[in-house]
Structure 1
Amino acid sequence: MTSYLTEPAAPAAQPPVQREVAVLAARPVGAYVELTLAAPEIADRAQPGQFVAFAVGGPMTAHLLRRSIAIAGVDAGPGAGTVTVVVAPHGPGSTWLAQRRVGDAVDVVGPLGRPFPLPDPGVPALLVGGGYGAAALVGLASLLRARGSRVLAVTGAADAARLCSVAELGEVADVVAVTTDDGSAGRPGRVTVAVAELIGEAGIAYACGPMPMLRAVADAATAAGVPSYVAVEESMACGIGVCMTCVLPVVGEDGLTRFSRSCTEGPVFGGDRVRFADVGALPWDVVGADAMGVVAP
């Protein structure tokens, strides 16, 4: 087995902006809602893997924290300047956002976070999306294809309604494999079956989706000697690195584990740098654990 410690993604090239923008389009996409926003300054700055953070609930809301949503696509061409996101309505904040209609105004900050690092032109890439996480990979697939890479895509979900961006990936990827847990679309089972079949054709792997899926893709890539990058879905209460609620144990270039903020050091991390087994825990060997009274086992 070859093991890689993939380098962290570089910081974004331009700083984020905060703007009140108009909703240009809103349409249901299976179990989700796709919103298109008139946000030219964000579109000009955005790179695949980054996200935006919305104020939710309106001017008199009790929901003080923003909701962070991955950027699904941008159109920065002349006369365009749009940003697209796919919203999964879960709690009150995301449900409010999913209920926005054409002409509504929303307060948004972006682009935030570090984007996906790119391989050398022509390196074949495997992209794996779970649920609405697949939406964040469409722009990456287009960029890789434009740089001469063969793009292999896998998208999976619990059922057909929770699949996302299958058609969009089909327009830019050379291969698209679809899986659902219940077999209602594509082949039955999890994405790991398709990943195992395709990883040998890739020179780099990317993934966005639930944490167990990210771990499985990272493990498969490392076992195959392929570097991987994952966009994590940890809850981001502030989105700008202040509150420390989205920290993960991540191995640094010096081999030491530190708690890294998903919103600023991420959301993209090297797949074999994230200590998935210790997410949500306080490892004894993380930098600073001794000051908190944690002792080695």
Structure 2
Amino acid sequence: MNTINKSAVQQIATIHSNKRVGAYHQILINVGEMVKSCRPGNFVAISVGGDSSRMILRRAFAISRVSDSSQYGGTMELIVAPHGSGSKWLCAQPEGSELDIVAPLGTSFGIPTEPINALLVGGGYGSAPLFGLADVLKNRGCKVDMLLGASIGTKIYAPMEGKRSVNSLKIYTEDGSMGEKGRVTESLLEIISNRSIDVIYSCGPMGMLRAITELVANTEVIHQCAVEESMACGIGICMTCVLPVRNEDGSTSMLRSCIDGPVMDGSHVQWDLVGRIPEAHQ
């Protein structure tokens, strides 16, 4: 296993609670000492379907946040949209069920050593890891603003929690059913200028991550994004989650999202080549 996942362990974890929150499920898992190794941006790979299932591959889920309390011990929070067969199975598991998990996996968001002005941009349930990140940034003395976007209001995850977690929150929906009508990228440059943003942290659809990268290309703003690529193994073996990334010499390498990501420098991703094989690798 790559050194980036040197803290990852496989263990059996118990579901503490499973609550429906809008269009998603908030699942809290007891993971014990594992929380000490988890960082914002990491993910967990979960065996789904049960012992007799044909779903032999683990499913990767972003870790929303972790907590270590005297009452519950070490817990991991997941925000899951019940779309595919694996996520539907997970959302159907009751309190007390046991899960076979491997975590923490992948790269995490870079946390500044000094206070900065940070902008967190999330799309749909992809915004969930940003809440835990906001806690860490605020503890470092950073000023944290957040933009949340989705196609409709019901797909905005926990807007009230967002307001409590950051200095300011702005919501966009494509149909105008919550917040402003439009996309999170529409006023991005204006917000960056008005709030003197140093770093953007983003989670969400690949199209949104690409749009943010292109908008800040001519600015000094750093863009750290958690890419959304399908991960079949989660530990760098299967090569199904590769992304084209520009090297310092201008060449392109196909890097694994689960090992070299999911958090990457948006300016390094060759967004126009995503889903294609660069000529040099054919």
User: 1:37 corresponds to which residue?
Assistant: 29
Pairing of 1:158-237 with structure 2 (within 5 A): 158-200=151-193, 201-237=196-232
Q: Is the Cα–Cα contact under 8 Å of residues 199 and 221 in structure 1 kept in the other structure?
A: no
Alignment identity in percent? 42
1:48 is paired with a residue whose SS is coil
User: 1:149 corresponds to which residue?
Assistant: 142
User: 2:128 corresponds to which residue?
Assistant: 135
User: 2:108 corresponds to which residue?
Assistant: 115
Q: Please list every run of 5 or more consecutive structure 1 residues that lacks an aligned counterpart in the other structure.
A: 1-10, 293-297
1:170 is paired with a residue whose SS is helix
CA displacement 1:13-66 (0-9 Å, x = unmatched):
851011111110111121111100000232111000000011000011100011
1:27 is aligned to 2:19: yes
The change in CA–CA distance for 1:165 and 1:195 in structure 2 (over 3 A counts) is farther
Displaced runs of 4 or more, over 6 A: none
User: 2:264 corresponds to which residue?
Assistant: 269
User: 1:248 corresponds to which residue?
Assistant: 243
Q: Is the Cα–Cα contact under 8 Å of residues 5 and 105 in structure 2 kept in the other structure?
A: no
Q: Is the Cα–Cα contact under 8 Å of residues 5 and 106 in structure 2 kept in the other structure?
A: no
1:97 is aligned to 2:86: no
Measure, in 2, the Cα distance between the counterparts of 1:257 and 1:78: 48
The change in CA–CA distance for 1:223 and 1:30 in structure 2 (over 3 A counts) is farther
Measure, in 1, the Cα distance between the counterparts of 2:248 and 2:168: 34
TM-score (norm 2): 0.94
User: 1:259 corresponds to which residue?
Assistant: 254
CA displacement 1:68-111 (0-9 Å, x = unmatched):
00000100244520000011111111110111111111111101
Instruction: Tell which deviates more after alignment, 39-48 or 269-278.
Output: 39-48
Q: Please list every run of 5 or more consecutive structure 2 residues that lacks an aligned counterpart in the other structure.
A: none
The change in CA–CA distance for 1:123 and 1:257 in structure 2 (over 3 A counts) is same
Measure, in 2, the Cα distance between the counterparts of 1:176 and 1:165: 12
Task: Please report how far the alpha carbon of residue 196 of structure 1 lies from its aligned counterpart in structure 2 after TM superposition.
Answer: 2.8
Supply the AA of the counterpart residue of 1:203.
D
Q: Is the Cα–Cα contact under 8 Å of residues 205 and 227 in structure 1 kept in the other structure?
A: yes
Task: Please report how far the alpha carbon of residue 254 of structure 1 lies from its aligned counterpart in structure 2 after TM superposition.
Answer: 3.8
Bigger strand share:
2
Measure, in 1, the Cα distance between the counterparts of 2:213 and 2:166: 21
Aligned length: 277
Which of the numbers 56, 62, 65 marks the counterpart of 1:70?
Answer: 62
The change in CA–CA distance for 1:119 and 1:220 in structure 2 (over 3 A counts) is farther
The CA RMSD measured in Å over matched residues stands at: 1.4
User: 2:38 corresponds to which residue?
Assistant: 46
1:103 is paired with a residue whose SS is coil
Supply the AA of the counterpart residue of 1:18.
Q
CA displacement 1:209-262 (0-9 Å, x = unmatched):
000000111122223321111100100000000000000001124432100000
Q: Is the Cα–Cα contact under 8 Å of residues 145 and 166 in structure 2 kept in the other structure?
A: yes
